[in-house]
């Protein structure tokens, strides 16, 4: 696995659907990519703050295993054959926030945005990028097939504007660093 697999990017869609359905579809694609839903009351905490967003946080990676295997990875990367599964690198922790809100009658906005962590092996902090990219492509394809997509844009970053996908909210509400 290369040390840098490209930037972690998110995406934003405007679709003909409800926020709950958009969240459900996005979570399914991310779970298929290996992410696990966190059961930390994120949505309830947001509603307690008066947010109009519905949101879910998913995570992948293991802090300790990624650090331990980082040194072993230097040797494994030079092997002329694939390493046995027991020796393969473990992803550093990555959080993905899926958030949706209504923007009109039966029209909703969906944002999916990943956040790396300082925990784990730093050279591999973006190793989850291919998984995130695949899930985003599947969400886009699904919205296109249903004829529900009104607009789509790729996001290299998000402003700290109080939305659930912003770094400030992820840090304050989820304690993610």
- Is pLDDT above 80 for 2? no
3-state secondary structure of 4: coil
Mean pLDDT of the chain: 85
Task: Give the position of tokens 């959080």.
Answer: 95
pTM: 0.84
Whole-number pLDDT of residue 160: 87
- Is pLDDT above 90 for 52? yes
Whole-number pLDDT of residue 4: 47
pLDDT (tens digit, 9 = 90+) per residue, 126-142? 888 899 999 999 999 99
CA-based radius of gyration for the chain: 17
Whole-number pLDDT of residue 22: 96
* Domains recognised in the chain with CATH numbers: 10-62+91-174 (3.30.310)
Tell me which of 25-29, 35-39, 63-67, 141-145 is least confident. 63-67
pLDDT (tens digit, 9 = 90+) per residue, 156-165? 999 888 899 9
On the CB side of 167, how many CA atoms lie within 13 Å of its CA? 9
């Amino acid at each position: 696995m290369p040390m840098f697999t490209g930037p972690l990017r998110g995406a934003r869609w405007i679709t003909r659907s409800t926020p709950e359905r958009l969240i459900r579809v996005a979570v399914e694609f991310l779970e298929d990519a290996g992410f696990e839903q966190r059961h930390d009351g994120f949505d309830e905490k947001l509603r307690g703050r008066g947010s109009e967003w519905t949101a879910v946080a998913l995570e992948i990676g293991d802090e300790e295993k990624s650090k331990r295997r980082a040194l072993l990875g230097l040797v494994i990367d030079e092997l002329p054959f694939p390493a046995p599964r027991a020796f393969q690198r473990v992803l550093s922790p990555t959080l993905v926030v899926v958030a949706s809100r209504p923007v009109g009658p039966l029209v909703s906005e969906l944002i999916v945005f990943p956040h790396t962590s300082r925990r784990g092996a730093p050279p591999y902090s973006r190793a989850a990028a291919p998984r995130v990219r695949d899930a985003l492509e599947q969400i886009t394809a699904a919205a296109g097939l249903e004829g529900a997509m009104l607009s789509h844009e790729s996001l290299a970053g998000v402003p700290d504007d109080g939305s659930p996908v912003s770094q400030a909210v992820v840090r304050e509400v989820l304690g993610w660093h």
